[in-house]
Amino acid sequence: MSKTLSLPKKPTPAPTQAARPAARDWRDTAAAGRPAPSRSPAQKPLSPRPQPAPARAQPASQRPAVPRRSGLLSDSEPVRLNKRLSDLGLCSRREGDEWIERGWVLVNGKTAQMGQQVTALDQIEVAPQATAQQGARVTILLHKPIGYVSGLPEDGHQSAAVLVQPRTRWQEDRTPRRFEAGHTRGLAPAGRLDIDSTGLLILTQDGRVAKTLIGEDSEIEKEYLVRVHWAPNGPKGAGVVVQNPQAVFPPERLALLRHGLSLDDQPLRPAQVEWQNEDQLRFVLKEGKKRQIRRMCEQVGLHVVGLKRIRIGRVLLGNLPLGQWRFLGENERF
């Protein structure tokens, strides 16, 4: 028997927004010469006492070797400071700009300026307030229903973020964090999941999580279950096979799904694609172009009738109910 992906109706809750916090000056609060603290997990709130010294980025000679892609700048070539902070794994570029604007970043002992250029030889210091701010930020796992868009509202459809409410928190969420109104501010989707699809959607306030999942160098896998019909002449054309499309789908087209297709004049990265049963495919991708799986299937004569994301990296959708959410656990890693 083939498995059927249920397609729920579109709910209609309403979103909320709030203002940004005001900037504070940290430079007089960090005593010179005080040792830098060890890093706490990203989701554990940091104690405000005593005030630690600013965190320092390691010199290039002390950082572990990282494979370089062709075209990366050498240590002596300048880059924007927000990019340097991101490359060091301290924050996203957007967060970096926020820290610089608030006066939370020093370069060679001087307050950094927006748009400043630095090299890998410059000494960068980050204020404790920045680390504390990151510790207070949350990442949420949502089982997105059909009918919601991943990002901002569009064409009359609500953002999936409006589902993040106290009453929709999964009762089996075991994370100790209490839900606060501030947890809905600035939530951004870390990856696409289109309006007609369901499954695991990551919403985060933490730029490091976003960079891990959707940064240009991301190698995080996303796994999907995809129910299809064989439709070589389109879903309304002749020759549509609804029952057991696996039996008539040419093996050479399955090979194309795995590698050899292009979208928007760009070749796609290799994918894992295999039949789960007679009408359902399993896809594992390391990229996320707009409606990628649906467009890939269309190119080989398949029509997608159901799509569900069940895994991102090492984090599973599991038993999370449709339309409900939970916090990313303190020890969970993508």
pLDDT in tens, 201-238: 999 998 888 888 988 888 999 999 999 999 999 999 99
Residue from 163, 126, 155, 173 nearest 27 by CA = 126
Domain span at residue 82?
55-64+72-135
How far apart are the C-alpha atoms of 171 and 216, rounded to whole Å? 35
- Confidence label for 69 from pLDDT (cuts 50, 70 and 90): very low
Residue 295 amino acid letter? R
How far apart are the C-alpha atoms of 72 and 216, rounded to whole Å? 13
Q: What is the mean pLDDT of the chain?
A: 82
Q: 196 catalytic, yes or no?
A: no
User: Is residue 196 located within the same domain as residue 320?
Assistant: yes
User: Is residue 95 located within the same domain as residue 165?
Assistant: no
- Whether residue 26 lies inside any domain: the answer is no
User: Is residue 126 located within the same domain as residue 166?
Assistant: no
User: Which of the listed ranges 108-112, 204-208, 288-292, 323-327 does the model predict with the highest average pLDDT?
Assistant: 323-327
Residue from 166, 169, 162, 167 nearest 141 by CA = 169
Domain boundary (135, 162, 188) is at: 135
Residue from 274, 279, 277 nearest 229 by CA = 279
- Whether residue 20 lies inside any domain: the answer is no
Q: Tell me the two tokens of residue 284.
A: 């594992």
How far apart are the C-alpha atoms of 209 and 127, rounded to whole Å? 20
The CATH number assigned to the domain holding 163 equals 3.30.2350.10
Residue 165 confidence (pLDDT): 94
- Whether residue 19 lies inside any domain: the answer is no
The CATH number assigned to the domain holding 59 equals 3.10.290.10
Residue 86, φ and ψ in degrees, nearest 5: -65, -45
User: Is residue 182 located within the same domain as residue 318?
Assistant: yes
Residue 74 confidence (pLDDT): 61
- Which among 87, 122, 173, 194 is annotated as catalytic? 194
For residue 199, pLDDT over 50 is answered with yes
User: Is residue 177 located within the same domain as residue 262?
Assistant: yes
User: Is residue 179 located within the same domain as residue 304?
Assistant: yes
Residue 319 confidence (pLDDT): 97
- Judge contact between 206 and 134, C-beta under 8 A: yes
User: Is residue 158 located within the same domain as residue 144?
Assistant: yes
- Whether residue 164 lies inside any domain: the answer is yes
Domain boundary (111, 135, 159) is at: 135
Domain boundary (92, 110, 135) is at: 135
Residue length of the chain: 334
- Whether residue 36 lies inside any domain: the answer is no
Q: Measuring CA to CA, how many Å separate 99 from each of 19, 111, 125, 200, 203?
A: 17, 11, 11, 30, 21
Q: State percent of the chain over pLDDT 90.
A: 57
Residue 85: helix, strand or coil by DSSP?
Answer: helix
- Confidence label for 73 from pLDDT (cuts 50, 70 and 90): low
- Whether residue 332 lies inside any domain: the answer is no
User: Is residue 149 located within the same domain as residue 125?
Assistant: no
| Residues 77-113 pLDDT 10s | 899 999 899 888 888 888 889 899 999 999 999 999 9
How far apart are the C-alpha atoms of 129 and 109, rounded to whole Å? 17
Average pLDDT in the 141-168 region?
93
Q: Tell me the two tokens of residue 315.
A: 């984090």
Q: Tell me the two tokens of residue 100.
A: 């610089």
- Whether residue 168 lies inside any domain: the answer is yes
Cis link prior to 176 (omega < 30° from 0)? no
Number of domains in the chain: 2
User: Is residue 186 located within the same domain as residue 290?
Assistant: yes
- Whether residue 39 lies inside any domain: the answer is no
